[in-house]
Amino acid sequence: MLRIPCPVCGLRDETEFVYREDASVRRPDPGETDPTVWHDAVFIRENPRGKHLEYWHHVHGCREVVVVERNTLTHEIGRCRQAREVQG
C-alpha cells in the first residue's frame, strides 16, 4: 500500500485517494482542430520509468487534488503538493 503525504491532512493510505491522471501531460489548445494533434495527446503517451508526477484526488479526506511525485519502479513517494500550487 502507498502512503501519500497529503499537504493538508498529513500521511494517509492510498485507499483515501483516487488516481486522476499523469500530471506531466500538456493538452493542446482547446481551439486546436487537427485531429492528429488530439489523437496523439490522448492516446500516444510515454510509459515513464522512475520519478513521475501524478494527479491524485483525496476523496476521503480534504477533497483536494494533489500532485504526487512517485517512482514508477519502486512506488516510493516523494514530494506532494496541492495542484493549485503547481499550476500557473
Q: Is the full-model pTM beyond 0.95?
A: no
Task: State the pLDDT confidence band at 87, using cuts at 50, 70 and 90.
Answer: low
Q: 42: domain range?
A: 3-85
Quick: pLDDT tens for 35-83. Answer: 999 999 889 888 889 999 999 999 999 999 999 999 999 999 999 999 9
Torsion of CA 80, 83, 85, 88, to 10 degrees: 140
Tally of domains within the chain: 1
Cell representation of residue 79? 514530494
Query: Strand, helix or coil at 32?
Result: coil
The DSSP bridge partners found for residue 60 are none
CATH number at residue 72: 3.30.2270.10
